[in-house]
Structure 1
Amino acid sequence: MKRVLQLVLLIIACHAPAPAARSDTGPVAVIEALHAVLLQVMQNADQLGVQGRYDTLEPRLRETYDFERMIAIAAGSHWASAGEAERAQLLAAFIRYSVATYASRFVGYNGEQFAIQGERPGPRETVLVDTTIQPRDAQPIPITYVMRKRDNDDARVVDVLLENAISELAVRRSDYASILQAGGAPHLTQVLNERSDALLRGTP
């Protein structure tokens, strides 16, 4: 059960890419590509090590998630008021922490499987891709990816819902609120980089 909970927390806590996807790649295909890399990393976790897992996951995660939109929403008015350089630094730290979290949690494979139920229209021009994580010895866990087109690019994930109730963006906004209040975007950048350093050292 502990293994199942770690996997669930990973999926909702963060937040995927390899080679750039074609412009006609649909939402389901994007999530299928994410699942394929996650399974690859889980099945080869020991051989890869934490840095190898990071390097494998980082391009796929960039292709899957709209990290810029996510951090803009999570940071709220602090993102809106930040300068261009501060935004770039915060975005880089946010991506690094998201990937490091995946790399630190996918430490083995115990028969987990991912399944896609399909896609459906969501609110405010989003597409919802309904999936499940199927642990070997437990009930499937529903995960819904909230996806939105980015200009003329492929659809990217902007939020993740666990059991149609727990929003990743809501969790992030709550986590970052006091950090931003204490020191704005530069302070959040520092905290996220410190967290990433700890994860990549193996001391979360």
Structure 2
Amino acid sequence: MSTHAIMRHIVFGFLFVLMAVAVQPSQARASSPAQTALETSITRILGSIKNPDYVNPATRKPLRQQIEDEVLHIFDFKEFSSRTVGPRWSTFTPAQQQQFSDAFAELLLNTYLSKIDGYNGEQVVYTGEVTSPKGDRTEVRTVITMKDSKKVPVAYRMLPKDGTWFVYDVLIENISLVKNYRTQFQDILNSGSPDQLIAKVKAKAQEVRQGNGQ
């Protein structure tokens, strides 16, 4: 599956599996702290999407900003970035790490967040969680049923930090988003420096933003 397709499913999964969970409070199993964190974010995101102003391009911008802010709140892009770069992350200075994290987050948001406008009624089911023995990692598992009846497993890997839980990787059909991007970034780092990687990610993020008319 391509990175584009992966991210499309991530956005749908994030937005709509949690909606399905959130609107069915009568489930026998109580929500875990990780699931609760996701549900809190999705409630806020749905509030923006359901706002009548969201369907009007002239009034959508501030609502889209609220959605972006919430995604930035629930996803730990610093952790996401360190795992994506891999072992070479330790060769980045603190300033480079922050610059890369900011650029990578902007690239993902600019490229894929608009996909929420293409929701076509995918059905999502929450299927459970797997937690590490120490309780410091959990994988929230879901299955999305597409319009063509294809079932796509989507799992959200989360970790606790500062009293709540954050997403640090997403698996679509057992394909890790982190590993998918790591391959691309390693190719750049094999022949370039951290600053060159940061510059390329920033340039791509800006290109996509302009292409979206933002």
TM-score bracket for the superposition, by shorter chain length: 0.7 to 0.9
**2:160 paired residue number:** 149
Q: Between 116-125 and 92-101, report the one with greater CA deviation.
A: 116-125
Structure 1 residues 55-70: aligned runs within 5 Å: 55-70=65-80
TM-score (norm 2): 0.71
In the TM superposition, residue 33 of structure 1 has moved relative to its aligned partner by 4.0
Q: Does 1:28 align with 2:35?
A: yes
Identify if the C-alpha distance between structure 1 residues 94 and 109 changes in structure 2 by more than 3 Å, giving closer, same or farther. Answer: same
Distance in 1, matches of 2:120 and 2:47, equals 11
Q: Between 34-43 and 129-138, report the one with greater CA deviation.
A: 34-43
Which AA in structure 2 matches 1:26? P
For structure 1, the residue ranges without an aligned partner over 5 or more in a row are 17-24
> 1:186 aligned to 191, 195, 207, which one?
195
Distance in 2, matches of 1:81 and 1:105, equals 34
**2:125 paired residue number:** 115
> 1:73 aligned to 64, 76, 83, which one?
83
**1:20 paired residue number:** none
Distance in 1, matches of 2:62 and 2:124, equals 22
Which AA in structure 2 matches 1:28? Q
In the TM superposition, residue 140 of structure 1 has moved relative to its aligned partner by 3.0
Which AA in structure 2 matches 1:72? S
SS in 2 for 1:138: coil
Number of aligned residue pairs: 189
Q: Confirm or deny: 8 A CA contact 1:41 1:53 kept in the other structure.
A: yes
Q: Confirm or deny: 8 A CA contact 1:161 1:167 kept in the other structure.
A: yes
Distance in 2, matches of 1:201 and 1:51, equals 15
Q: Confirm or deny: 8 A CA contact 2:48 2:63 kept in the other structure.
A: no
Q: Confirm or deny: 8 A CA contact 1:12 1:168 kept in the other structure.
A: no
Q: Between 117-126 and 85-94, report the one with greater CA deviation.
A: 117-126
Distance in 2, matches of 1:127 and 1:184, equals 33
SS in 1 for 2:143: strand
**1:9 paired residue number:** 7
Aligned-residue identity in percent: 24
Over the aligned positions, Cα root-mean-square deviation in angstroms equals 3.4
Distance in 2, matches of 1:72 and 1:194, equals 20
TM-score (norm 1): 0.74
